[in-house]
Every structure is written in structure tokens, then in C-alpha cells.
Amino acid sequence: MTQPVPTPHYPRRSTRQIHVGKVAVGGDAPISVQSMTITKTADVEGTLQQIYALAAAGCDIVRCTCNEIEAAEGLAQIVPRSPIPIIADIHHQYKMALAALEAGVHGLRLNPGNIRKPDHIKAVASEARERGVPIRIGVNGGSLDPALYEKHGGLTADAMVESAQMEMRYFEEVGFDLIKISVKASNVPLMVEAYRKLSAVTDHPLHLGVTEAGPLPGGLLKATAGIATLLLEGIGDTIRYSLTADPVEEARAGRQLLESLGLRERKNVDLIACPSCGRAEIDVIEVAKRAQDAFADKQLPLQIAVMGCVVNGPGEAREADLGIAAGNKRGHLFVKGRNVAVVPESEMVDALVDWANYIHEHGVDAALQRVDTTIAEREAARDRSALLDEQGADANRSSEKIVEIRKTVDG
């Protein structure tokens, strides 16, 4: 059952719209997720295998390096077989951009910091204009034009924005305007400042990212801090997590971020779980991990809960489409807060998967109607009562702590 996408409480910045292959970017188009292959592009089969894995993880657009003639030749074979649009990543050699265009790519990424000759830049833009292929101006804090670095006294947001503007002027000279822009930095506050300043001076669509964010989990936190900050301000039309990890992790992270912010319709399971407490009847962390693994490759737009006990679990997670709570060595399955089935503790995750598939195909109402809920509710009430008799209403002994707190304050 698809969850409705909440209306954001912030206005999205108005931008022009371009198309990268079949994917619209900017304007009123959904914010897209990008990643990059880490295979050698000349390895056609290996690269395609990675592209298909990225597409399955929610990636909308993928970038492949084009750093040598063999890579350009590989792109000629990859592009027609790819399930998502291909962008060629170009560094230093402008002729590789021309070769990639000949290979049929859907977009280019040029770095102004290492392709600086105006004639070369304009030659690529002219050819892209003739083919209707967009270009991302990919300003990177780690490869800023030395002249701009010196002019601004170092790496600053103003220097990065000026770099993008200089590139746009070259494009304008040849009548090319199918542009999107990024001003990435590995420093999050600098990255945020640069995008804010850029968004104030151009209406071209913006590609967000924290470059060289690093390995998990730190890289994930850095990238989310920068990207989410800007998205919540209405800035950004397409995003990429630049992680030192399997690129599939980048695509998953991007998709999950957009879903969490209500900027894309939910595509995968949103797994929620209690943090565990003194009343937990199971190892919540272990069961939640098993459930996460079980749903990893299933595109089910449902919210699913794993709760440690049957006393409060179904009530606390009543808004979840489906959940399970432990009690007396059994798992109590609930749909929208209503108990529907009791399964052995060892079968909890399997039962979640079975019911999730049913709900996705038939809906919540049909799921509730397929069983006699009174039996499950009676069993849940029995286990709740037994657990309360055994552990009392205050399993975490918080009342004792409150007494001590009052003694400390009053004393």
C-alpha cells in the first residue's frame, strides 16, 4: 500500500528543466538520484552489471568515466543496453567528451578546474548543442582553477560560484544552455554556502553533493548533512552521495533520503524498530537486522515495524502498515495497530515478509479480512497480561529513578 507523499512546508526553488535521456531534471520534475560506476568503462559487461544493480537500488542517472579511447568505445556498447541514462565523466581531455558524444551518451560532466582552454570548452558545448545533450558544469573544491584560487585567497564559495559562471559564459558564446551545475566541496558548511550563493544568481538546475565524503558511516552523515540542508531550503534538482563504498550504497542512500523528506514517493520498505528496553522479549537489534536483510531487495512501499514487546508495541506503531511484537516466545503480528496473527518467535521475519507481500498486492483492508482478528487479539491480550504480571508496569524501574532525582533536587 503506497503511502501518500506529504506536501513539503518549504517552496522548491524554480529552475529551468532539461532532460538527461528520459529523465527530466529541474522545473517540477521529481528530484533524481545519481551515482557513478567504479568499474573500468572498457569492461562493458562488468559496467552494465553494476548499472543494473544501481537502477534496482533506485538510481535514476548513472555516470561513467571516459578517460581513454577504450572507455569511449565501451560507452558505445553500454549506452544502448543501459536501463537508465548515461553521463560521461570527463577530465583534462576535451576530445574524450567529443568521443563520448559520438558514443551516444545522454549527458556530459565537465570540470572547469581541469579543462580550461576556452576553445576546447566551446568546441564541446557546440557539439553538445547540435546533439541536444546537456552538460553539467562540475565545479569541485579540490580542483579549482589556480587563478580563481589566487584571486579569492583560497577555496571559497565565491570562487566556486565564479568558476561556474565563467564556464556558463563560454557556453553562452556558442548558444548552449542545456546546463546543470554543481559546486561540490568536502567541507559541508562551504558546500552549503556555495550552493546558496549559486542558487541566488542562476535558474539552471543544480546537482547536489558533498564531494569525497568518505567511507561509511561518516561519509553518509557528511553527505546527508549537506544535501538535506539544501533540499529542506528548496534548493536542488538532482543529488549524489559520493561515498567510499559500493555505489549501490550511494543510490540507496539517495533514494532513502528523498523518501524520508517526502520528496519522492516511497518505493522501498521503511523499517522502523523500537530501541529496546527492559520489557523487550527478543533481541530487537538482531531481529530488525534480519528483517532489513529480508526486505533489502523487495520494492514494497510499506512502513514495517519491529517491536520488542507486545505490551506497547502495536499501539506505539499503530500507523505502520504492518508490524510484529514479541511476547511469551511468540510473535504477534499487527496490521495498522490491529493484531491479526500469532507465530512462533523463530518465524517472525518470515511472517512479516509473507504479510507484506499480501498487503502490497491486495491492500490493508483485504489483509484484515483474511483472518479472524478476535483470536489474535485475545492471544495478544493474554501475553500482555502475563508480561505485566511478571515484570510490572514499570519494567525499566523509572519510578525508582524519579524518587532518587527528587531526593537529589530537594536535598
Where do the domains of the chain lie?
Answer: 17-260, 270-391
Residue 402: its pLDDT value, please? 64
Residues facing 90 on adjacent strands: 110
Q: Could you tell me the three cell numbers for 372? A: 479472524
Residue 193: its pLDDT value, please? 98
Kindly report the three-state secondary structure assignment for every residue of 137-194.
Answer: EEEEHHHCCHHHHHHCCCCCHHHHHHHHHHHHHHHHHCCCCCEEEEEECCCHHHHHHH
Give phi and psi for 383, each to the nearest 5. -70, -35
Residue 176: its pLDDT value, please? 98
Residue 67: its pLDDT value, please? 95
Q: Could you tell me the three cell numbers for 139? A: 565545479
Of the options 3.30.413.10, 3.30.420.40, 3.40.50.170, 3.40.250.10, the CATH number for the domain spanning 270-391 = 3.30.413.10
- CATH classification of 17-260 is 3.40.50.300, yes or no? no
Residue 1: its pLDDT value, please? 43
Render each residue's pLDDT in the chain as its tens digit; 411 residues: 444 455 555 789 999 999 999 999 999 999 999 999 999 999 999 999 999 989 878 899 999 999 999 999 999 999 988 989 999 999 999 999 999 999 999 999 999 988 989 999 999 999 999 999 999 999 998 889 899 999 999 999 999 999 999 999 999 999 999 999 999 999 999 999 999 999 999 999 999 999 999 999 999 999 999 999 999 999 999 999 999 999 999 999 999 999 999 999 887 788 878 777 776 777 888 888 999 999 988 888 888 888 888 777 777 677 788 998 887 778 888 898 888 988 888 899 999 999 999 999 999 999 998 888 888 888 888 877 887 777 777 777 767 766 775 776 775
The interaxial angle of helices 218-231 and 188-201, nearest 10 deg, is 30
CA distances from 383 to 166, 327, 336, 391 (A): 69, 6, 19, 12
CA distances from 7 to 28, 148, 261, 380 (A): 14, 41, 10, 36
pTM (two decimals): 0.78
